[in-house]
Amino acid sequence: MSINITGHTGLTGLLGSPVSHSISPAMHNAAFEALGLDYVYLCFDVDTSNLKTAVEGLKALGVKGFNCTFPDKNMMCELADELSPAAEMIGAVNTVLNNGGRLIGHNTDGIGYMMSVKDAGYNIIGKKMTLLGAGGAASAICAQAAIDGVSEIDIYSIKDEFWNRAVHMVDSINKKTNCKASLYEFNDSTSFKASVASSAILTNGTSVGLAPKQDNCPVTDLSVFRQELIVSDVIYNPKETKLLRLAREAGCNTFNGMYMLLYQGAEAFKIWTGMDMPVSEIKERFFA
């Protein structure tokens, strides 16, 4: 792959920390090249302590748009000039469009996740989900799953800075969708075991198990794993987290966050360029 930088090249990229593991640059740059678009996608290691400064700089430079990943998704809501309905409901932004100097915050994570479930060969519509986490990615998954028709979602989270937002989101889901959402503390082991037992899918929406801390696992009670349970992880580095390995060894069906990344990226690509990402080509090159 060759990238020709010109005086008109549009800048896109990824803000977060860490970001050195991301395959987003390869994916987006290949898509730009395939469609003959004069864009480039780069990674910038930016955490919440300097996110505001970085965003102001990118805005001043006339960036076309950018993605946000952990830990910047929630703070980006405060920095955007405008939020899409999905981003406002979720309380997190993972895609930003610079629209004539106004930064419009979107969230494509939930769409990406639900597409990845379908791509993995599963149908969870009308079924129950147990979801770990209430941060940016988890909130997006929860909201989109409810919108798409998942019947019930039990969310398990620690009482951190995301807790109050999760309470609000659960209330919004219960009022605005036909899904029943409930929020529990992460250490409520009794209800967690009962929740997983009645769920079709267990999803890790946290960063627990992300490289370089791949020895960590958000589930300690391995008795919750059963053969008919689907276990998914938003993490894609490592490709098989400890959670997925233990679930697989217990006979569960598993899949990681690779295709969530692909499909959320395809939505972001369209927001920036107005064109469809050549998903089949990108999938074959980077996700096979």
Cα separation, 53 vs 3, in Å, equals 28
Residue with tokens 């029943």: 180
| Residue 89 neighbours by CB under 8 Å, 6+ apart | 143, 169, 172
Each residue of 139-175: pLDDT tens digit? Answer: 999 999 999 999 999 999 999 888 998 999 999 999 9
Per-residue confidence at 86, pLDDT binned at 50, 70, 90?
confident
Cα separation, 117 vs 140, in Å, equals 14
Report the relative pairing of strands 95-99 and 180-185 from DSSP bridges.
Answer: unpaired
For domain 110-256, give the CATH number. Answer: 3.40.50.720
The helix (H) or strand (E) run that includes residue 285 is helix 279-286
47: helix, strand or coil: coil
What is the residue extent of each domain of the chain? Answer: 10-107+260-286, 110-256
- Fold of the CATH domain 10-107+260-286: Rossmann fold (3.40.50)
Each residue of 204-214: pLDDT tens digit? Answer: 999 999 988 99
Cα separation, 143 vs 274, in Å, equals 25
The per-residue pLDDT for 1 is 55
- Which member of 64, 73, 128, 242 is catalytic? 73
Known active-site residue 52: no
The answer, yes or no, to whether residue 226 has pLDDT greater than 90, is: yes
64: helix, strand or coil: coil
Q: What value does the mean pLDDT take over residues 171-194?
A: 95
- CA-based Rg of the chain, rounded to a whole angstrom? 19
